[in-house]
Structure 1
Amino acid sequence: MTGPAVDPVTGPAVGIVLVSHSARVAESVAELARGLAAGGPQVPLAAAGGTADGGLGTSAERIVTAAREADRGAGVVLLADLGSSVLTVKALLLDEELPAGSRLADAPFVEGAVAAVVAASAGFPLTGVLSAAEEAYTYRKV
């Protein structure tokens, strides 16, 4: 990851954390989102996938570390793939273990991640990035 995205008018960009049961899935979705948002400032984006030993699962420690890495003071939007990753993020939010301004998006993982990264790179505030991710549920394919 490069330095923080800072727009001279709006200030620091909202950070984004992708939480998956698989490190490879989280990293691949981050790569896709970055690629599709090319042209704007680099958004603080961190992948928190898998367990500490490289297996499938969810690691609270990895999520906390990723959220702190992505936090630039403008808030952090977390997108989780399914099941225990969602529950783990909810527990971390409830226990106030994530940076202030952290929010879990109720969004599809891939489409929501792309929408969030594009919105953050355009300088949207936390609520705008969260809304962009959540509106991804309305993307119709037929």
Structure 2
Amino acid sequence: MTPVGIVLVSHSAQVAESVAELARGLAAGGAVARVAPAGGSPDGGLGTSADRVLAAVAAVDQGAGVALLADLGSSVLTVKALLADGDLSPDCRLVDAPFLEGAVAAVVAASAGASLDAVATAAAEAYDYRKA
């Protein structure tokens, strides 16, 4: 079984890394899908880097597809541009999901062997999580 890879695109390297660490930790208990953070600008500040997104996708892509979750604004636009320009394979998908909860759901689903469609659905369903 080859799991779907997960890329977390954020304006902040620290946010992307922390969410990746949390998602991996909550999915533990067996084989955990590959998760790569792609956050911050090349100079280490806030921003989004297409090169970091491409490197993260390359790091997690094992042939089963890659789900990309983006936090907001230019992170979303960067992923959309990479998809539109053909820089990402057709097996890559921008998932409309809340960043933290969606990342956890995506990593758990991917680690359980879910398909790219099922991973995207699990992440998107995180919009329905109720806390009160």
> TM-score, normalised to structure 2's length?
0.98
What's the counterpart of residue 6 of structure 1? none
**1:64-75 matches, cutoff 5 A:** 64-75=54-65
**Structure 1 residues 83-105: Cα deviation after superposition (integer angstroms, max 9, x where no partner):** 00000100000111113300000
User: What SS does the corresponding residue of 1:79 show, helix, strand or coil?
Assistant: strand
RMSD: 0.7
The residue correspondences of 1:10-21 to structure 2 (distance < 5 A) are: 11-21=1-11
| Paired residues of 1:77 and 1:129 also in contact (CA < 8 A) | yes
For 1:100 and 1:107, the matched residues in 2 are separated by 19
- Map residues 44-59 of structure 1 onto 2, 5 A cutoff: 44-59=34-49
**Unmatched 5+ stretches in structure 1:** 1-10
TM-score between both structures, scaled by the size of structure 1: 0.91
CA displacement 1:53-77 (0-9 Å, x = unmatched):
1010000010011011110000000
- Whether 2:128 is the aligned partner of 1:138: answer yes
Stretches of 4+ moved more than 3 A in 1?
none
Percent of aligned pairs with the same residue?
70
- Of the two structures, which has the highest relative contact order with CA contacts closer than 8 Å and spacing of 6 or more? 2
Q: Which runs of 5+ in 2 are unaligned?
A: none
